[in-house]
Amino acid sequence: MKHIIIGTAGHVDHGKTMLIKTLTGTDTDRLREEKERGISIELGFASLTLPSGRTAGIVDVPGHERFIKNMLAGISGIDLVLLVIAADEGVMPQTREHFDILQLLQVKNGIVVLTKSDLVEPDWLDLVREEVREFLAGTTLEDAPLIAVSSVTKEGIPELLQTIDNMVEGTKERASSGLMRLPVDRVFSVTGFGTVVTGTMVSGQLYVGDEVEIMPTKINSRVRGLQVHGSKVDRARAGQRVAINLAGVEVEEIERGNVVTVPNALIPSFRLDAKLHLLKNAAKELRHRTRVRLHIGTDEIMARVVLLDRDELKPGDEAYVQLQLEEKTVASKGDRFVIRSFSPMHTIGGGRIIDAVPKRHKRFKPEVIEALATKEKGTPEELVLQHITSQRAPVPAAEIAGETNLPAGEVENAVQKLFKEQKIKIIPAENKQLVILLSRYRRWSEQITRLLAEYHRKYPLREGYPKEELRSRQFSNINTKDFQNLLQSMEADGIIKLHPQTVALPGFNGEPTGKDANIVKNIEEIIKGNKFQPPRWKEALKQANIKQEDGGEYLSYLTRTGKIIKVADDIYFHRDTLKQAQEKVIQYLKENNSISIAETRDLLQTSRKYALPLLEYFDRERITRRTGDDRVLGARARN
């Protein structure tokens, strides 16, 4: 069954609330002051059963100019409007302002209801009809049905109900597959249940037990209960008036203007990029950085209008702007908004959000305007590609939907299409996919290849470029995990070769050649030739006629490849010699159960200077185990 929200609009005292009571039996004026003054101040809500049996929600808005902000909070989520005009007065100031708001919010489905028809003569009613048709000419409601009714005599009410039913039949239902969002228009507490918020669910669906987040304050909660049109339900969906009983949240923590949504789905922002239209009947031009009242969803926020390509916007014109807010809000691409002048308060314009979490823009930059034009009119592929292009690091594909305000399914299809068109590279990662411009991936591949070639020439005996050093020096904008994923992708493409801590070119093995090979062999022989009393490293270099400043590379190579092994500070054994020492010590322990430092010294025909470090090394390797001053067989030697 369709779920449609109907809203009222019109001048104060033109009979909106009386009409809703006649249609639904519900008096939407619930406040004492409203009863006493005979006008609506706050939003009113009712449920309407149509001749077909369908049920629609009704939002009754106040008509007085002082309560326009309340009207805006209710009108933003409607699918069909009843533009109420009293037959005895015709089009009045708030009729015009309410109608301007409807046009700015792009409410295209509507019925014009001429109320109080019992108070005028037929000829007068015909004149009012002509006035209204002239007023609506050239607007989205130019061809809207126009029905005269009386809430007193009930004349015209059946026709109105049937017309509403017919229009509901042709009205497109809101998507329940998108991101769940409910802008809050009321907050109250129910004894025994706690905090309740109400609003019109503009997209998505919600179940009892779901985890939710109240934005922009980032308060987490759980749905304890749901009501739609006063009835308990297990699920609520887009297009319904919904009451949510929230767990673990106090009434004081929520206010009108907040948005109930899925956790981590929306990002609060102090800025919004938008296309702004200034009404033709605005009193004057809008100058750069004018302070205005921004109405978006059910929220009202003070903001400055940053004109990006001009110093003033003339009435009737439109331009790309950045709205700089005095408080954070959350929005999605495509959301409509209205702005009113700071003082005196009049509706002066409105438009559509292009980017809900933009960066600060420099003015008079053609590339900024071009980017906004793409975001405004672009296809999902163009929007996704633009977002990927704007990022300096690989982008998690799952986060693109939130950044572009596109449905997740559209983003997934766009990513696959861009990949097939060879515009992006998909990088597999743990539990996610990263995406990057293919041109950028190739450029980085060339950059890394060039850096590695230079590094290998400079350090031919090293295994490769240390990964973290490469990242921090050349790609510091990419985190360690994502950089590893990037490198793994390059390895899979045959561009590089990865080692646990380093990266190298595929054909590079870090083995010495020519002169270096002879030097390495000579150093090996010097250390090995002195058996269990090898020379200190500096002495080995001296014997090999190698400068001390050049020795580090040879030492790094020899230890990396395990040709020589560091036993203690400045004590290096050749691996063959160390293996012999190990075998001798193990054999001795198997025959004698324990061995002392002196016995080790004698066994290996060395000195205490080498015997003690050797035993301590064997302790670390679990070849031996210290007991008092002696050693016994360690765990590894026993196996």
Please check whether residue 424 lies inside any domain of the structure: no
Domain that holds residue 460: 439-504
Higher pLDDT, 552 or 604: 604
Q: Are residues 195 and 335 in the same domain?
A: no
Please check whether residue 394 lies inside any domain of the structure: no
pLDDT of residue 450: 94
Q: Are residues 63 and 96 in the same domain?
A: yes
Q: Are residues 469 and 499 in the same domain?
A: yes
- Percent of the chain exceeding pLDDT 90 equals 53
Number of domains in the chain: 5
Please check whether residue 400 lies inside any domain of the structure: no
Concatenated DSSP letters for 171-192?
Answer: SPPPPSSS--EEEEEEEEEETT
Contact between 489 and 425 (Cβ < 8 Å): yes
**By three-state DSSP, how is residue 231 classified?**
strand
pLDDT tens digits, 532-542 = 999 998 888 88
pLDDT tens digits, 435-445 = 999 988 999 99
Helices 16-24, 157-170: axis angle to 10 degrees equals 80
Q: How confident is the model at residue 150 (pLDDT cuts 50, 70, 90)?
A: very high
The span from the CA of 369 to the CA of 361, in Å, is 10
Strands 55-60 and 4-10: parallel
Nearest to 401 by CA among 392, 409, 393: 409
Strand residues in 330-386 grouped as ranges (E) = 336-341, 347-355
**Number of other residues whose CB lies within 10 A of the CB of residue 359:** 10
Q: Are residues 591 and 458 in the same domain?
A: no
pLDDT of residue 68: 53
Residue 200 is part of a domain; what is its CATH number?
2.40.30.10
Please check whether residue 139 lies inside any domain of the structure: yes
Nearest to 316 by CA among 345, 288, 284: 284
- Residue range 588-597: average pLDDT? 93
Per-residue pLDDT for 51 more than 70?
yes
Per-residue pLDDT for 625 more than 80?
yes
Please check whether residue 422 lies inside any domain of the structure: no
Nearest to 554 by CA among 568, 543, 620, 497: 543
Q: Are residues 156 and 223 in the same domain?
A: no
Kindly state the tokens that stand for 430.
């743990």
pLDDT tens digits, 418-431 = 999 999 999 998 88
Q: How far apart are the first and last CA of the chain?
A: 74
Q: Are residues 122 and 233 in the same domain?
A: no
The span from the CA of 375 to the CA of 320, in Å, is 11
pLDDT tens digits, 79-107 = 888 999 999 999 988 888 888 888 888 88
Nearest to 240 by CA among 54, 23, 405: 54
Q: Are residues 131 and 73 in the same domain?
A: yes
Higher pLDDT, 176 or 39: 176
